[in-house]
Amino acid sequence: MTDPRAAAEAVLAHVDANLEQSLSRLEALLRIPSISTEPAFAAQCRAAAEWLRADLQGEGFEASLRDTEGHPMVVAHDKAAEGPHVLFYGHYDVQPVDPLDLWHTDPFEPVRLVQPDGETHISARGASDDKGQLMTFVEACRAWRAVTGSLPVKVTMLFEGEEEAGSPSLLPFLERTGPELTADIALVSDTDMWDKQTPSIVTMLRGLVGEEIEITCADKDLHSGMFGGAARNPLQLLSEIIASMRNPDGSVALEGFYDDVAELPPEVAEQWKRLPFSDTDFLAGVGLSVPAGETGRTVLEQITSRPTFEVNGMIGGYTGDGFKTVIASKARAKISFRLVSGQDPDKIREAFRAHVRARLPADASVTFHAHGGSPAIAVPADGPFLNKALGALGAEWGREAAIAGSGGSIPIVGAFKRQLGMDTLLIGFAQIDDRIHSPNEKYNLTSFRKGIRSWVRVLAAFAQR
């Protein structure tokens, strides 16, 4: 076969020359209202899966639908190439469209809207999340085949139809189908760029420990006139426990919490100093001005590379209109920890429970309820796939690609690591203003075009020895 690097320029030219056809295919997929959470749209979900299967089959993949308890999976293979094997994951299902009256155009009739800055928005439900993004990869493969007759690396694709519904069928499917899907690296295109000019690869995902605690004191709600003063108040106690979780410097006051916390790799720390990021702008976007996390850490660190404790919900006593002089019997809180590389979710959960138990006075009891736990995930900062992808993105966008962390967890990445032993590179071209999950979702034409071109370059780079 042709040398991939040499061929890449021709493939890129083909992408540009055939962009209208690529767009038309995306628009055909966007017209299928594959809303996974609404049972009435089950047939449309299957139709979207079938559209993808047929498109991939026509392009040259061996593609099939795989039935699950829910919506079907699409699996496609082309392992003819000599090079390494990549697994590309995306999802063909979309969010519901309510409230419909806030849409300026039909969510399932894509339109191209030219913006004052010259950008074109492809507006439709799923344009960005995730049909537009997954088609960047599909179109890159098509262009490779059109120009060179083959793909530069072995490619497997996996598209699910339940991502917006919590992916209930995914883990069982990975368990059944693992060896067929296992590749050298997984690629996911469901994330944002660093900013409109700067591509990014997310290589760090924080883990999560979710926990619900309920504190009980008296065996019934009490009148604060009759018992106030003598009766233990579980809301007071819960407040004191929550307060005890945080040091004045913003760090988490849980014994051993930072014992296993890895510092940011030096090359990433260095890069973050160079990358454009404004603490002020980031916080101002939500009405804040001062970072509230650990003193001495940047906002980027606070939200991606440092672990946290958060109260996510709290309730107890009388919370309706007016006033009721009650001392509640029970008080509840939902709390969570975001974990970073090195921290063990089970150990953190146990440390938290011990922290709470140690602060319970007489007459107070507690019950705990676990709401999921997953470790942080990090792709080695010096891995060969990462470095090649960084180079490819840099070449396409004309500036250094960011090595980014995501503050939240993306369950599929953990599943690939645990169940298939694969690292994942998250390479997405969405913008923060794409309004995913909201009315008037859009995907920039630049994201689509340069996203396809980026994958052309990434695959070429991976094929290189």
Stretch 204-263 residues interacting with a copy of itself (CB under 8 A): 206, 208, 210, 212, 217-220, 222-233, 235-236, 238-240, 242-246
Sign of CA pseudo-dihedral 219, 222, 224, 230: negative
Q: Are 434 and 451 in contact (CB under 8 A)?
A: no
**By CB under 8 A, what part of segment 283-322 binds a copy of itself?**
283, 286-294, 299, 302-303, 306, 308, 310-319, 322
Q: Which is nearer to a copy of itself, 69 or 319 (CB)?
A: 319
Angstrom distance (rounded) from CA 225 to CA 451: 66
The residue among 80 and 284 lying less far from a copy of itself, judged by its C-beta, is 284
* Closer Cβ to a copy of itself, 303 or 427, answer by number: 303
Q: How far is the CB of 217 from a copy of itself (least distance, A)?
A: 7
The DSSP 8-state label assigned to residue 108 in this structure reads T
Is the Cβ of residue 99 or residue 319 nearer to a copy of itself in the bound state? Answer: 319
- Using CB under 8 A as the binding rule, the residues of this chain from 355 to 414 that contact a copy of itself are 361-363, 371-372, 406-409
If the CB atoms of residues 145 and 246 are measured against a copy of itself, the closer one turns out to be 246
Q: Which of residues 6-65 bind a copy of itself (CB under 8 A)?
A: none
Two tokens, residue 256: 């051993």
Nearer to a copy of itself among residue 3 and residue 318 (C-beta) = 318
> Which residues, 317 to 356, sit near a copy of itself by CB under 8 A?
317-319, 322-328, 331-334, 336, 338
Q: Are strands 154-160 and 73-78 parallel, antiparallel or unpaired?
A: antiparallel
Q: Residue 222 Cβ, how far from a copy of itself at the closest point, in Å?
A: 6
Q: Which two tokens stand for residue 253?
A: 């006051």
Instruction: State yes or no: residue 178 binds a copy of itself (CB under 8 A).
Output: no
Question: Coil, strand, or helix at residue 430?
Answer: strand
- Least distance to a copy of itself, CB of residue 369, Å: 9
Nearest to 351 by CA among 257, 246, 250, 262: 257
Contacts with a copy of itself in 133-162 (CB under 8 A)? Answer: none
Shortest CB 202 distance to a copy of itself, Å: 12
Q: How far is the CB of 328 from a copy of itself (least distance, A)?
A: 7
* Dist CA 24 CA 110 (whole Å): 10
Task: Provide the minimum distance between the beta carbon of 400 and a copy of itself in the complex, in angstroms, as a whole number.
Answer: 23
409 or 454: CB nearest a copy of itself: 409
Contacting residues for 272 by C-beta, under 8 A, at least 6 apart: 264, 298, 300, 301
Give min distance, CB of 33 to a copy of itself, in A: 26
Choose between 3 and 249: whose C-beta lies nearer to a copy of itself: 249
**How far is the first Cα of the chain from the last one, in angstroms, to the nearest whole number?**
14
What HEC string does 170-193 produce? HHHHHHHHHHHHCCCEEEECCCEC
Bin 435: left if φ > 0, else alpha if -120 < ψ < 50, else beta: left
Nearest-CA neighbor of 304 among 371, 394, 207, 230? 207
CA distances from 322 to 223, 358, 422 (A): 16, 35, 56
- The only residue of 19, 282, 355, 439 in contact with a copy of itself, by rule CB under 8 A: 282
Nearest distance from C-beta of residue 370 to a copy of itself, angstroms = 10
